Structure 1
Amino acid sequence: MSFVIVLTLVLDQLTKKIASAVHGTFYLVPGFLKFVKATNRGIALGLFSNLSEQVLWIVLFVVVVLSLFPYMFRFSRLERVAMGFILGGALGNLLDRIRFGYVLDFLNLVFLPTIFNLADVFIIVGGGLMILGAFRGVSDEKLESGEKGRRLETRSVSEREDSIVDIQVDDTEGDKGRKGEGQRPD
């Protein structure tokens, strides 16, 4: 995840440096993507432009706390990459807010009324990947850790070989209601 955060941050800062040296408005992709330079004093996509410095520090605190989540909880590879995109993009914009007091936006999809930058793209892609990860349901680590091997191999049964089946019984009731060792409850 750290690599993704650093890569996202470097790409964001590099594109902002290039964009700051370019003047004018022109199409990057004719009829679709336009270069339009603007400063953004809000959060993402120009929202909440009247932010106070205290809110900025709260956002920084939230970003730091979120960056610790992958170390406190188990995330799949996809979710770690998504979190890296989100945190890298947020740190890129936050760094600009602290250094300059604004964020440089320079991209405009002609069918949207907003101007954004690469950090915003990474944040949106990361959010989409997190949603995709939530819908997948099974984490990559579970599949890689061998839990996929906890099913009966049909090849062994059909060839009449000895089969080993790993069965795990979860007794949620515990030993409550049992009369004694070796006896079944009636």
Structure 2
Amino acid sequence: MAFVMVLTIVLDQLTKRIASEIHGTFFIVPGFLRFVKATNRGIALGLFKNLSEQLLWTVMFVVVFLSLLPYIFKFSRLERIAMGFILGGALGNLLDRIRFGYVLDFLNLTFLPTIFNLADVFIIVGGALMILGVFRGGDNESLESRKKRRGLETGSVFEGEDTIMDLEINDSKSDKRGQSEGQRSD
């Protein structure tokens, strides 16, 4: 997660630095993606431009706090990567807000009315990956590795085979308890 977060911040800050030096409006991908430089005093995608500064900081604090949850709870690898994107994007925009009082946006999809930056893209991608991780459910480790970790082995039983299984319990407490209660251990 930390690698994804740092990479996200670096890429976001680098693209904003390059965009700040470019003037004019032009198509990056003709008819689809345009370079349009604008300052954003709202949050992601220019939303909530009229928020008070105090409420804006509260929103940013909540985003950062929620992004730290993988360090508190067990998240799958996909969910940790998603949180890295979300946290990196949020921190990238927060750095600009602290340094300049605004966030530099410079990308526009021709079919959307908003202008955004790479941090916003990372936040959206992270959110989508988080939703995907929730729908996938649980950890990404395979069923076989979970069984091995629990010490269970499975096998197939074919028609006509015996299904008797020998179990050996290696619990020293139960062995001692059985002996003290007068039971014999084999």
TM-score, shorter chain, exceeding 0.5: yes
C-alpha deviations, 1:24-50, integer Å up to 9, x for none? Answer: 111111111110101111011111112
Structure 2 length as normaliser, TM-score? Answer: 0.78
What residue in structure 1 maps to residue 30 of structure 2?
A: 30
What residue in structure 2 maps to residue 17 of structure 1?
A: 17
Give, in angstroms, the shift of residue 56 of structure 1: 3.2
Taking the TM superposition and a 5 Å limit, the aligned residue runs for 1:167-178 are none
Question: C-alpha distance in 1, partners of 2:31/2:3?
Answer: 34
Q: What secondary structure is seen at the aligned counterpart in 2 of 1:42?
A: coil
What residue in structure 2 maps to residue 127 of structure 1?
A: 127
C-alpha deviations, 1:69-117, integer Å up to 9, x for none? Answer: 1111110000000011011101111111111011100000111111100
What residue in structure 1 maps to residue 155 of structure 2?
A: 153
CA contact (8 A) 2:82 2:130 kept: yes
Question: C-alpha distance in 1, partners of 2:59/2:144?
Answer: 35
* Equivalent AA in structure 2 for residue 96 of structure 1: D
Q: What secondary structure is seen at the aligned counterpart in 1 of 2:28?
A: strand
Q: What secondary structure is seen at the aligned counterpart in 2 of 1:108?
A: strand
Distance 1:143 1:6, change over 3 A: farther
Matching of residue 137 in structure 1 with residue 134 in structure 2: no
C-alpha deviations, 1:146-184, integer Å up to 9, x for none? Answer: 237857322xx3496998699xxxxxxxxxxxxxxxxxx
Question: C-alpha distance in 1, partners of 2:166/2:46?
Answer: 58
What residue in structure 1 maps to residue 170 of structure 2?
A: none
Q: What secondary structure is seen at the aligned counterpart in 1 of 2:68?
A: helix
What residue in structure 1 maps to residue 104 of structure 2?
A: 104
Q: What secondary structure is seen at the aligned counterpart in 1 of 2:107?
A: strand
* Equivalent AA in structure 2 for residue 102 of structure 1: Y
Question: C-alpha distance in 1, partners of 2:162/2:70?
Answer: 43
Structure 2 unaligned spans of 5+: 168-186
What residue in structure 1 maps to residue 7 of structure 2?
A: 7
Which range moves more in the overlay, 94-103 or 53-62? 53-62
Distance 1:61 1:144, change over 3 A: farther
Question: C-alpha distance in 2, partners of 1:163/1:92?
Answer: 61
What residue in structure 2 maps to residue 48 of structure 1?
A: 48
C-alpha deviations, 1:45-65, integer Å up to 9, x for none? Answer: 111112323123313422342
Question: C-alpha distance in 1, partners of 2:13/2:54?
Answer: 24
CA contact (8 A) 2:67 2:86 kept: no
Question: C-alpha distance in 2, partners of 1:97/1:134?
Answer: 31
Structure 1 length as normaliser, TM-score? Answer: 0.78
What residue in structure 1 maps to residue 57 of structure 2?
A: 57
Question: C-alpha distance in 2, partners of 1:73/1:141?
Answer: 17
